[in-house]
Structure 1
Amino acid sequence: MDIESLSRWMDAEGLPGAGELAEVSPLSGGSQNELYAVTRGGAKMALRRPSGHKVETGTKVLLREALLLQALSGTDVPHATFRGVSSDLDVIGAPFYLMDLVDGWSPMGGGWAAPFDTDLAARGELAIQLADGAAKMARVDWKAQGLEGFGKPDGFLERQVDRWLSHLSAYKFRDLPGLDEAAAWLRDHTPRTFEPGIMHGDYQFANVMYRHGAPAELAAIIDWEMATIGDPLLDLGWVLVGWPPEGDAMKYARYLDYSGMPSRDDMLEHYARVSGRDVSQIDYYVILARFKLAIVLEASVARHVNGEADERVARFGDIVLELMEFAASLSRTTTLR
């Protein structure tokens, strides 16, 4: 990275701090993007850019993320403060955007941080905060925030099954028990209407950060690369994919200890109260979330089978089968008609 060029760009944009960068150090950014901590003049920011081998394909997604962060300014949705964006490859060789560095912790950094590792009552509040973040996203006036055209909400739910089956067909290499059953149920039970809103697309404990210490407080929702304007209730369904008590039977899909979590009804009540949305059809969204997540993860499994992915994704194979099994199972046991 050309640090001098980045410094000049930051000066020209009037960003916090002044002069040369005191530090540029890599952070965990996932497989699609790289993330760096950037410090100068006491200002601490994060720089996000596409991974080196995905600059061309990742540019559109990255610029969409930047647009969304800009749009969230002035809302009560917890997010990193947006600072600036550039698509000029002459600055650092790739498009990028800058945001404030979030002071907080992620459950993906080693599980529950203190005191939530031992205090189960406090841990339960982390879940309520997670539901709260989804609810706050759902109530944003997205048109007023300049997100007209950010997604295609018309027919969003009707497109889901065919879209993800088409996605799967590009790399399908094995049968997924429960796939046809879940797909048929989803087609037959698609809600007739919904209120469009901001949808994160991968909303879960892995994609939020909390402020240090108790009481639990959501510091920021992160990793917006799958965000769109769709049905926000799918984010809530995503949260509840492995929720107790039904999710207690899952052996592979959980990555955290759910001891101390509030009941499913408590999560639904909080979301409904904050968002003002009807949650009576939540089983549809949980089934769709399991169906979609299984297909998304199966892409990584297929790449591993073809020798194109890290050995670590091999474990996704069992997760995919479990998610699809539980999608079909809930379609049989739900009281939603």
Structure 2
Amino acid sequence: MEMAPESWTELVDLEKLRDWMDMQGLESGPLEDVTSLAGGTQNILLRFKRGGRAFVLRRPPHRPHMNGSETMRREARVLGALKGSDVPHPGLIAACPTDDVLGAAFYLMEPVEGFNATVGLPPLHAGDPKIRYGMGLAIADGAAALGRVDYVAAGLSDLGKVENYLERQVKRWRSQLESYAEYEGWAGPGDIPGVDKVADWLEANRPGSFKPGIIHGDYHLANVMYRFDGPELAAIVDWELTTIGDPLLDLGWLMATWPDGEGRGSTGSVGVQPWDGFPTAQELVARYAEGSARDLSAIEWYAVLACYKLGIILEGTNARAAAGKAPKETGDMLHASTIGLFRRALGWIGG
């Protein structure tokens, strides 16, 4: 989304940004060709040039749902730690961890030359099922590469709480669902299929151990960018939920959100078209196994957990909509997504 030049200053004080870049020794001269890549309630992305070099600035929205500055600090820290790894990611240029320059923490990264498959496929990818098959394998490769990173050696040992990570999951998200009762008008979880059965199954079948690593936290087709010249990933993007935990949850998340044979997601929405040629979820797991030494014998547990967690997150918007704090159409759509995710989970557990 592009915005008119007069609206840029509503997003970012370009003069203050220029002064900060001067202090960091990041090129010289005016900020040119400024374009807004995102807006509204999303994180703010501005692409611009300075001294002939291209930059992308990322900062939280002016009214973030959570601590936007802390999110930016975490994202920048992880992107910096991934430098030199084989994980496709936007290159970190510099970060400002304080709020005193632009009103929130922010960072500058290298532009990603690529496209989002859920927005549309360019002719090369739209015209060749073999390319689309490779795109599926590439997203599995990206998850496996992230899971191979030694988070301790990368300086990220304090990014998340590893102890009892798996044991905490169901209780954490069950409590989240129960908290929605504070929204007047929310009908409750009664029409979410198998909400208790899925939780009980997760508790009863939880893996006994895991190998900690970096988690992206929201790993699916909309959060990767592909190269224009082939099926490979250009970058994994949107690292808002990154932490240290069990990286198999990223693979489970990919399975939970992977479209069916006609390109529809578990939510009923169309993910990517044309879809023919893309591998199945089972083929993604097999590809991940080729690049990982992790035990995948319980991978469906992670897929079910992903359905449970994501479904509860989406139901939060439905609850807010019932209380008049979000658009009703959005609440209805996301509630349908929650139902689709729980149905997919029940399919895995035989419910």
Aligned to 2:235, the other structure's residue is in SS state strand
Q: Which residue is equivalent to 1:85?
A: 95
Q: Which residue is equivalent to 2:24?
A: 13
CA apart distance, 1:86? 1.1
Q: Distance in 1 between matches of 2:65 and 2:208?
A: 39
Given the alignment of the two structures, is residue 193 of structure 1 paired with residue 206 of structure 2, yes or no? no
Aligned to 2:64, the other structure's residue is in SS state helix
CA apart distance, 1:253? 5.3
Given the alignment of the two structures, is residue 66 of structure 1 paired with residue 66 of structure 2, yes or no? no
Q: Distance in 2 between matches of 1:47 and 1:248?
A: 33
Q: Distance in 2 between matches of 1:63 and 1:120?
A: 39
Percent identity over paired residues: 42
CA 1:266–1:54: 2 relative to 1, 3 Å: closer
Q: Which residue is equivalent to 2:104?
A: 94
Give the one of 233, 241, 245 matched to 1:218.
Answer: 233
CA contact (8 A) 2:138 2:232 kept: yes
Q: Distance in 2 between matches of 1:27 and 1:144?
A: 34
Q: Distance in 2 between matches of 1:56 and 1:326?
A: 29
The gaps in structure 2 that reach 5 residues or longer are 1-11
Aligned to 2:342, the other structure's residue is in SS state helix
Q: 1:133-282 to 2 correspondence within 5 Å?
A: 133-172=142-181, 173=186, 174=188, 175=190, 176-213=192-229, 215-241=230-256, 242=258, 244=260, 250=266, 252=268, 254-257=270-273, 258-282=275-299
Cα deviation digits, residues 43-82 of structure 1 (max 9, x gap): 1111111111229821111111111111111111101110
Q: Which amino acid aligns with 1:192?
A: G
CA contact (8 A) 1:55 1:94 kept: no
Q: Distance in 2 between matches of 1:301 and 1:132?
A: 34
Cα deviation digits, residues 102-133 of structure 1 (max 9, x gap): 1111123x222222223111111111000000
CA apart distance, 1:39? 1.5
Moved more, 117-126 or 190-199: 117-126
Output the aligned Cα RMSD. Answer: 2.1
Q: Which residue is equivalent to 1:52?
A: 62
CA contact (8 A) 1:199 1:229 kept: yes
Kindly report structure 1 stretches of 4+ aligned residues shifted beyond 4 Å: 243-251
Give TM-score scaled by structure 1 length: 0.91
Q: Distance in 1 between matches of 2:89 and 2:68?
A: 21
Aligned to 2:100, the other structure's residue is in SS state helix
CA apart distance, 1:281? 1.1
Aligned to 2:35, the other structure's residue is in SS state strand
Q: Which amino acid aligns with 1:190?
A: R
CA apart distance, 1:246? 11
CA contact (8 A) 2:226 2:232 kept: yes
Q: Distance in 2 between matches of 1:199 and 1:254?
A: 26
Q: Which residue is equivalent to 2:120?
A: 111
Aligned to 1:23, the other structure's residue is in SS state strand
Q: Which residue is equivalent to 1:325?
A: 343
Cα deviation digits, residues 9-40 of structure 1 (max 9, x gap): 1121122x322211332112673421111211
CA contact (8 A) 1:46 1:100 kept: yes
Moved more, 203-212 or 4-13: 4-13
The gaps in structure 1 that reach 5 residues or longer are none
Aligned to 2:49, the other structure's residue is in SS state strand
CA apart distance, 1:140? 0.2
Q: Which amino acid aligns with 2:218?
A: D
CA 1:79–1:254: 2 relative to 1, 3 Å: same
Q: Distance in 2 between matches of 1:119 and 1:131?
A: 19
Q: Which amino acid aligns with 2:144?
A: A
CA 1:324–1:305: 2 relative to 1, 3 Å: same
Q: Which amino acid aligns with 1:130?
A: I
Give the one of 27, 34, 46 matched to 2:37.
Answer: 27
Cα deviation digits, residues 235-254 of structure 1 (max 9, x gap): 11111114546997946155
Q: Which amino acid aligns with 1:148?
A: S
Q: Which amino acid aligns with 1:47?
A: L
Q: Distance in 2 between matches of 1:251 and 1:94?
A: 34
CA apart distance, 1:264? 3.3
CA contact (8 A) 2:34 2:47 kept: yes
